[in-house]
Chain A
Amino acid sequence: LAKTTQPISMDSYEGQEVNITCSHNNIATNDYITWYQQFPSQGPRFIIQGYKTKVTNEVASLFIPADRKSSTLSLPRVSLSDTAVYYCLVMNRDDKIIFGKGTRLHILP
Chain B
Amino acid sequence: DAGVIQSPRHEVTEMGQEVTLRCKPISGHNSLFWYRQTMMRGLELLIYFNNNVPIDDSGMPEDRFSAKMPNASFSTLKIQPSEPRDSAVYFCASSLSRGYNEQFFGPGTRLTVL
List the B side residues contacting A91 at CB < 8 Å: 99-100
Q: B4, B58, B100, B107: which contacts A92 (Cβ < 8 A)?
A: B100
Interface size (B, Cβ < 8 Å)? 24
Q: Tell me if A99 and B103 are in contact (CB < 8 A).
A: no
Q: Flag if A44 contacts B105 (CB, 8 Å).
A: yes
Interface size classification for chain A: 20 to 34
Chain B proximity of A21: nearest CB distance (Å): 19
Smallest CB-CB separation from A42: which chain B residue?
B107
CB-nearest residue of chain B to A94? B99
Q: Which of B11-19, B65-73, B75-83, B90-98 is the contact stretch? A: B90-98
Chain B hits for A41, CB < 8 A: 108
Evaluate contact between B93 and A43: CB separation under 8 angstroms.
Answer: yes
Q: Which residues of A are in contact with B by a Cβ distance under 8 Å?
A: 31-32, 34, 38, 41-46, 49, 87, 91-102
- Give residues in B with beta carbon < 8 Å to A: 4, 33, 35, 42-45, 48, 56, 58, 91, 93, 97-108
Which 9 pairs across A and B sit closest by C-beta, in order of nearness? Answer: A43-B105, A93-B99, A99-B43, A46-B102, A32-B100, A43-B91, A101-B42, A91-B100, A44-B105
